[in-house]
Amino acid sequence: MAQRFRDLIQTSFFLRLLVLAVFIILLIVAAQGSKPSKLALGEYSIPILGYHGLGDQSATAYYIYPENFTKQMQWLKDNGYHVISMDKLFDGLNGKTKLPFKPVVITFDDGNITNYTIAYPILKKFHYPATFFVISGVTGSDPDRMNWEQVKEMAKHGMTIGSHTVNHDNLAKMKLGPARAEIIDSKKAIEDKLGVEVKYFSYPNGGYKNRDMEVKDAGYVAAFTTHRSITQKIISPDSLYALSRYEVLGDLPIPFEEIFQQKLDLSN
Ligand SMILES: [Zn+2]
């Protein structure tokens, strides 16, 4: 009788131990899943390229010839660069995943129609993700720009859609109230149309002074200036609201490949 009693106690002890072990394992798994992000502070060489339209670059410096764009994409491939999405970049910077060797991010501002008709097919060919910052107030109403169906199609196929305000005014030169509306209303408009969260913002004409914290308060993850540099100085979480971009324009002052050797800022 006593032996059976002891066996029973022992069995229930091991059962309890087992339940406890399973519980601890589940706790560890849950904790890993909700690992708080840890922003890696420092100075990084991460080229974030800024394009506008593709087409006749002799007509406007904001266009570059499609064949030049294709050559640039090929150069990135041939030279071991990894074109990553915006989400992947911030997962890397926040310590959630490891960034690949030689990361590059591609962005387009203004939602020009050639983003969809010319750039998108080329990007697809290379399997490169890119981020398109659209102006919500003219999307679908200006024939020179993409419509919502086109934007939606790109979003569905791995492209990221960000906000470039409602009306493309320089926020640094506007009063706070209207500037705030441009930041908040564009986010909501794009989200309503696409059904996905809009996490990234691009300042029209690079006007970010005294407006970066408004962008943060509106719930964006990061925002981009036209400060021409491939160096990202992240001294605090607020630095994510004024990240540099190297604008690739038709009148690029240096050969494309030299962008990636730049260490110093070219402009302010
Ligand atoms: Zn713009």
pLDDT in tens, the chain (268 residues): 556 656 655 667 667 767 777 666 666 555 554 455 688 898 988 999 999 999 998 888 899 999 999 999 999 999 999 999 999 999 999 999 999 999 999 999 999 999 999 999 999 999 999 999 999 999 999 999 999 999 999 999 999 999 999 999 999 999 999 999 999 999 999 999 999 999 999 999 989 999 999 999 999 999 999 988 999 999 999 999 999 999 999 888 889 999 998 765 444 3
Supply the pLDDT for residue 37: 65
> How far out from the chain centre does Cα 266 lie?
23
pLDDT of residue 262: 72
Q: Are 131 and 161 in contact (CB under 8 A)?
A: yes
Quickly list DSSP for 195-241: SS---EEE-GGG--TTTHHHHHHTT-SEEE-----SEEEESSGGGGG
Determine the distance separating the centroid of ligand 1 and the alpha carbon of 170, expressed in angstroms.
9
> How far away, in angstroms, is 158 Cα from ligand 1 center?
22
CA of 205 to the centre of ligand 1 (A): 6
| Ligand 1 centre distance from Cα of residue 162 (Å) | 12
- Residue 265 has a pLDDT of 47
Q: Give the pLDDT score at 29.
A: 55
Nearest to 246 by CA among 43, 46, 48: 48
Per-residue pLDDT, 58: 86
Domain boundaries, given as residue ranges, for the chain: 1-35, 42-261
**Interatomic CA distance for residues 167 and 255, integer angstroms:** 33
Distance from the CA of 112 to the center of ligand 1, in angstroms? 10
**Ligand 1 centroid from CA 19, angstroms:** 58
Q: What is the pLDDT of residue 266?
A: 44
Cα–chain-centroid distance for residue 8? 59
Distance 132 CA to ligand 1 centre (A): 11
148-156 and 176-194 helices cross at what angle (nearest 10)? 70
Cβ–Cβ contacts within 10 Å for residue 150, how many?
20
For 131, the 3-state DSSP assignment is strand
pLDDT score for 153? 98
Q: Which whole-number Å values give the CA distances from 71 to 34, 67, 154, 159, 208, in the listed order?
A: 41, 6, 22, 21, 32
**SS3 category, 103:** strand
Candidates 3.20.20.370, 3.40.640.10, 3.90.650.10, 2.40.160.20; CATH matching 42-261: 3.20.20.370
Q: What are phi and psi of 133, to 5 degrees?
A: -90, 110
Ligand 1 center to 98 CA (angstroms): 31
Taking the centre of ligand 1 as the mean of its atom positions, its distance from the CA of residue 171, in whole angstroms, is 12
CA distances to 25, 76, 121, 232 from 92, rounded to whole Å, are 26, 20, 27, 14
**Helix (H, G, I), strand (E, B), or coil: what is residue 249?**
coil
pLDDT for position 32: 53
* Residue 100 Cα to ligand 1 middle (Å): 29
CA of 108 to the centre of ligand 1 (A): 9
